[in-house]
Amino acid sequence: MSQPPDSEIRLRRPASEWKAPIFWSLLGVVAFLSAVLAHSGELMQRISLGSVGFLFMVAMWALAVMSKSTEISADQDGLRKTTAFGSWTVGWDQVGSVEQERTIFGRSENTLRSGSDTSFPGREVTMIVFRDHNGRKLLSMSPKMEPAKMRLRLLDLCAERTGLRLEFRTVYERNL
């Protein structure tokens, strides 16, 4: 039996997660305007710079729209992630694990070479990941989803419905 709609859990991303791409899109604006307003340089170089700037700007705006529109909801039946670009529903019976996954890019697990286990800022991403019984990612969300009380309710509901508790995991990925 499902909970009534007023007790459904609803989470949204914090404002910083959609405002940051808007800020970074200014780099694309500068590149685009430099190409359009510059009178020196070859035409192909200006077109290339303008195209790269425009594409970067549009990509950052799309990321901002996705972040702003992201909503995670949960009830007795499962989870639902909704964005401006689509939605995904995951039943509790599909969930095989719940992990807070910290992915560090550009460093191997061995810290003897560097003498430090900290990563350069911006080289790590932390997400809460719901995986199926085969380890495939079903749904992921930011650990900063708001409001915090609802995030804790979601994890409690997950534990109640699946018997799974949040596990912590660190993954090391090499640079491309």
| pLDDT tier, 2 (very low <50, low <70, confident <90, very high otherwise) | very low
Mean pLDDT of the chain: 88
Structure-token pair, residue 67: 């972040």
Residue, of 48 and 8, whose pLDDT is higher: 48
Domains contained in the chain, number: 1
CB atoms within 10 A of CB 160: 11
pTM: 0.77
Contacts for 83 with CB less than 8 Å, ≥ 6 apart: 66, 69, 70, 71
Decide if 68 contacts 60 (C-beta within 8 A): no
Host domain of residue 61? 5-173
Q: For residue range 78-124, list pLDDT tens digits in order.
A: 999 999 999 999 999 999 999 999 988 876 555 545 555 555 556 78
User: Distance between CA 103 and CA 172 in Å, rounded?
Assistant: 6
Residue 71's SS3 state is strand
Tell me how many degrees the CA angle 138-141-147 measures, rounded to the nearest 5: 140
